[in-house]
Amino acid sequence: MSEMRTVLVAGGTGFIGTHLCKFLRKNGYGIQIVSRMPSPMSISWNDLTSKGLPEKVHAVVNLSGQNVLDMKQRWTPGFKQNVYNSRINTNKALANAIMDADHKPKVFVTISGVGIYKPDIKREYNEYSDVEGYDFLSKMCLDWEKAARLEENACRQVNIRSGVVLERNGGMIQQLYTPFFFGLGGPVMPGSQYLPWIHMMDLCRLFLFCIENEKLNGTLNGVAPQIITNSDFSEAFAKAMRRPNFFPVPEMMLNIMLGRDRASMLTKGQKVFPKRVLDKGFTYKFPNIEDACKEIVAKPSN
């Protein structure tokens, strides 16, 4: 019998991490987690830096990061520093552990965001587009990706620039579920801003694709091929919930609640296409927002 392959998932306790670990287990992988919280299933960041990568790790994935849109946190310099450090330092620690390991994993897969692309009404971006830091979050994305970079030939490396991840019990859907449920939902104004999105199932499948596709390297846009606006999303979500889509969320309100930098993640958006993902032969289970929303709202809550 062949030995079970282990994936080391940093941030495996989070929204995406929990789904990814479950999905990888279903596909025959063993999981080890890197976490700030000690548990029998996980190693700590201290363990990683002092003892190095656990033995016989097949793949390393990093999904760590302080939640940017945590409504309980004000957008202060201290919080911004946490948001930044939790991404840059974890990617760096994993990259160093991989480069120092005697037995290298086959692949290092990281995540960053479509916030690396500057919102523009006309311009469509793909993985080959030029990127430049234009605000705090885009500069952070650049540093985040840079921090993961390995010396040549250390191992294969893929970074997924993810759009908003859609699933029932976390992220944006969790925040919107209650207002829509009570008939108080609506688009975030102006509504015409693009909303790069991906269904959680497809994101997990894309991670597996990166782990298993031995020729794959470089950047992939973790977004569905259907480009939609915030209004399109809101309409699809309301329809799936069988609720009205009447109450637009004013831009000003989000600017006040979240701070302008953060609010821009919702009030502005990028037109992002997964050209390289499709060129590499990945196929989506949920390429269409109506089907994605229907599947998601049909699920029971946890």
Report the interhelical angle of 230-241 vs 171-181 (nearest 10°).
60
- In angstroms, give the least distance from the CB of 12 to ligand NAP: 7
β-bridge mates for residue 194, sequence order: 229
For residues 171 to 210, the per-residue mask of contacts with ligand NAP, x marking binding by CB under 6 A and - elsewhere, is: x---------------------------------------
Question: What are the helix and strand counts (H, E) for the chain?
Answer: 11, 11
Binding residue for ligand NAP (CB under 6 A) from 37, 130, 214, 298?
A: 37
Q: How many CB atoms lie within 10 A of CB 299?
A: 10
The answer to whether residue 65 forms part of the interface with ligand NAP (CB under 6 A) is: yes
Nearest residue to 187 via CA among 294, 269, 118, 124: 269
- In angstroms, give the least distance from the CB of 246 to ligand NAP: 25
Nearest residue to 167 via CA among 206, 200, 190: 200
Nearest residue to 60 via CA among 24, 7, 99, 19: 7
Question: Interaction with ligand NAP in 86-105: which residues (CB under 6 A)?
Answer: 86-87, 90
Query: Would you say 97 or 165 has its CB closer to ligand NAP?
Result: 165
The answer to whether residue 16 forms part of the interface with ligand NAP (CB under 6 A) is: yes
Binding residue for ligand NAP (CB under 6 A) from 32, 35, 230, 245?
A: 35
The answer to whether residue 63 forms part of the interface with ligand NAP (CB under 6 A) is: yes
DSSP 158: E
DSSP 61: E
Query: Would you say 2 or 50 has its CB closer to ligand NAP?
Result: 50
Which residues make up the interface to ligand NAP (CB under 6 A)?
A: 11, 13-17, 35-37, 63-67, 82, 86-87, 90, 111, 113, 162, 164-165, 171
